[in-house]
């Protein structure tokens, strides 16, 4: 594994189960223990019923590209060599939305509604990022 120069997620007690899941090759999101609504990013309260009770659950990692945009400016030095690069918003089959990158898809090939699945990239000894690949 080479030296990783892009920003890394700030792992804390709120989101640690999500990143532990990524390390285990699982996409995990919060599930309200009272009404069952799935959510990401993690939050203290459920947006549906305001419950503070939740658990982390693994989801399929499958979904579709809901939106995308191309970045033509490197806001972080680590992205300079990839300009322009694409960021996608993926709507998981289970409902939650996640921002990420697509692997193995040229910028011109990204389409709204494109079926994708989670792919895991070990970028450091401690951090595994979740990206998406065509299904």
Kindly report, residue by residue over 77-100, the tens digit of the pLDDT.
999 999 999 999 999 999 999 999
Residue 1 has pLDDT above 80, yes or no: no
- Please list, in sequence order, all residues whose beta carbon lies within 8 angstroms of the beta carbon of residue 42, skipping any fewer than 6 positions away: 14, 15, 18, 30
Residue ranges per structural domain of the chain: 16-134
The overall average pLDDT reported for the chain is: 96
**pLDDT given for residue 46 in this prediction:** 98
84: preceding bond cis by omega (within 30 degrees)? yes
Q: What is the DSSP string of the chain?
A: -PPP-S------TTTHHHHHHHHTT-EEEEEETTT--EESS--SS-TTT----EEEEEE--EEEEEEEEEE-S-SSGGGGGG-SEEEEEEEETTS-EEEE-BSS--GGG--TT-EEEEEEEE-SSS-EEEEEEE-
Please state, in angstroms and rounded to a whole number, the distance separating the CA atoms of residues 115 and 93.
Answer: 10
What pTM was computed for the model? 0.92
Q: Over the stretch 3-57, which tens digit does the pLDDT of each residue have?
A: 899 999 999 999 999 999 999 999 999 999 999 999 999 999 999 999 999 999 9
């Amino acid at each position: 594994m080479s030296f990783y120069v892009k920003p890394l997620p700030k792992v804390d007690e709120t989101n640690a189960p999500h990143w532990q899941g990524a390390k285990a090759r699982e996409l995990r999101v919060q599930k309200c223990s009272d009404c069952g609504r799935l959510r990401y990013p993690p939050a203290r309260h459920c947006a549906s019923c305001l419950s503070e009770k939740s658990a982390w659950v693994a989801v399929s990692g499958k979904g579709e590209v809901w939106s995308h945009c191309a970045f033509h400016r490197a806001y972080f030095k680590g992205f300079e060599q990839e300009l322009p690069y694409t960021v996608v918003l993926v709507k998981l089959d289970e409902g939650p939305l996640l921002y990420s990158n697509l692997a193995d898809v040229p910028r011109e090939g990204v389409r709204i509604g494109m079926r994708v699945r989670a792919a895991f990239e070990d970028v450091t000894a401690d951090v595994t990022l979740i990206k998406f690949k065509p299904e």
